[in-house]
Amino acid sequence: MSDPVRDVRPLLGTGAVLGDGPDAAVPAHYGAPLREQRHLLDGTAVVDLGHLELLEVRGADARSWMTTVTTQQLTGTPVGSSASLAVLSPQGRVEHMASAVVVDEDALLLVMDPGARAGLRTYLEMMRFAARVELTDRDDLRVLGALSPATEVLDGLGLPAPVAVWSEPWPQLAPGGVAYGPDPDDPVGAVLTVLEGAPLEQLPWQPQHLAGMDAWEALRIADHRARWAREVDDRTIPHELDLLRTTVHTTKGCYRGQETVAKVLNLGQPPRRLVMLHLDGSQDLPAAAGGEVRLGASDGKVVGSVTSAALHADLGPIALAVVRRAVPLDAGLVVQVPAGESDGETVTVWLDASQEPIVLPRDHGERPVTAKL
């Protein structure tokens, strides 16, 4: 269960339309979401990610301890380096996710989805034992998102020096990573710039400086990047979302849930798979998280659900969905979309959807034959 969304004041309130769900505290757009998306792609705007939560892990054992309690190898990583990490249950299910930056020799800064910090902090406190670390909520900091550091995008606005900058060369494999599917077409990646929050609120923000969450989410979906607040549920294992690419270091040694990761990676297949859907845009109805995905037609079998949806400036309406592994890769799908009410009942429309595979079956090769005694 996630915690309530962090209450923050948008950097620019004029003309802002707030989002919903986990992004309810920040603007979805400022009146022109597709134009804002172009500005984001052109490197002339940033996204206000002030609802993201930050946790500082500081102490002599910070990196080595985080290596033992998460899926990532952080021991010996250089100052300024970035990584993605997760915490798994003993059964290998994803419980927590974070983006980590090494801010100095004795400290890491973790950036998380809204509602994620309390649960991760509780787990880390439980696992601290004799480790020389201290955990601090950093609500004095604020995150700006872009395709390069925010201080470079808005060079003339007077942004303060960044506290940290997180980035990763997605979709390239991180050390110890394994890809479960093809790279997305024309990936753009993401850069998170962490700054002192108070000075940001005093700057002369204008609409051309900012893009909303609608634009940010559209680029994330097109990049095939799963998000804790959207794609993860209580059954998720990392393989289903292609998290082994950057978030799980498969050769670093012991961590909680390692047995499941290794068994599915080397011998089995994940029970579900993440897929990007290209949706029929002729009916001008937006898909939304939670919509059913059915095989073939509206009376077909339910095979999954939409987790994220957006309107992309080039690709049109797209979505991420988690579907059953057995769904054929070339099967036609339909997605449930609410289209208002009639006589007090919700009217449902079904949009045709074609698949762009993200997670593919893994080929384990021929297994050795064991002689029977």
**Are residues 48 and 154 located together in one domain of the fold?**
yes
What CA–CA distance (Å, rounded) separates 294 from 302? 4
> Is the Cβ–Cβ distance between 34 and 18 less than 8 Å?
no
pLDDT at 368: 46
**Are residues 71 and 174 located together in one domain of the fold?**
yes
Answer with the one of 245, 278, 308 that is the final residue of a domain.
245
CB atoms within 10 A of CB 233: 13
**Are residues 154 and 27 located together in one domain of the fold?**
yes
pLDDT at 364: 77
Residue 60 tokens read as 């002599």
pLDDT at 370: 41
**Are residues 230 and 140 located together in one domain of the fold?**
yes
257 assigned to some structural domain: no
**Are residues 156 and 282 located together in one domain of the fold?**
no
152 assigned to some structural domain: yes
pLDDT at 373: 31
SS3 of the chain = CCCCCCCCCCCCCCCCEECCHHHCCCEEECCCHHHHHHHHHHCCCEEECCCCEEEEEECCCHHHHHHHHCCCCCCCCCCCCEEEEEEECCCCCEEEEEEEEEEECCEEEEEECCCCHHHHHHHHHHCCCCCCCEEEECCCEEEEEECCCHHHHCCCCCCCCCCEEEECCCCCCCCCCCCCCCCCCCCCCCEEEEEEHHHHHCCCCCHHHEECHHHHHHHHHHCCCCCHHHHCCCCCCHHHHCHHHCCCCCCCCCCCCHHHHHHHHHCCCCCEEEEEEEECCCCCCCCCCCCEEEECCCCCCEEEEEEEEEEECCCEEEEEEEEECCCCCCCCEEEEEEEEEECCEEEEEEEEEEEEECCCCCCCCCCCCCCCC
The domain that holds 350 is classified in CATH as 2.40.30.110
93 assigned to some structural domain: yes
**Are residues 127 and 238 located together in one domain of the fold?**
yes
pLDDT at 39: 97
234, 235, 236, 239: CA torsion to nearest 10: 160
**Are residues 143 and 214 located together in one domain of the fold?**
yes
What Cα–Cα distance (Å) separates residue 36 from each residue in 40, 44, 300?
A: 6, 9, 38
What CA–CA distance (Å, rounded) separates 300 from 333? 9
Regions of the chain where pLDDT drops below 70: 1-6, 342, 365-373
Q: CA angle 92-221-317, nearest 5°? A: 135
254 assigned to some structural domain: no
7 assigned to some structural domain: no
**Residue 233 CA, distance from chain mean position:** 13
How many domains is the chain partitioned into structurally? Answer: 2
**Are residues 219 and 328 located together in one domain of the fold?**
no
**Are residues 323 and 184 located together in one domain of the fold?**
no
Is the peptide bond between 171 and the residue preceding it cis, with omega within 30 degrees of 0? Answer: yes
CB atoms within 10 A of CB 30: 26
262 assigned to some structural domain: no
The domain that holds 53 is classified in CATH as 3.30.1360.120
pLDDT at 371: 40
**Are residues 234 and 320 located together in one domain of the fold?**
no
**Residue 316 belongs to domain spanning:** 270-357
**Are residues 68 and 188 located together in one domain of the fold?**
yes
366 assigned to some structural domain: no
362 assigned to some structural domain: no
Closest by Cα among 282, 298, 295 to 333: 295
Q: What's this model's pTM, rounded to 2 decimal places?
A: 0.94
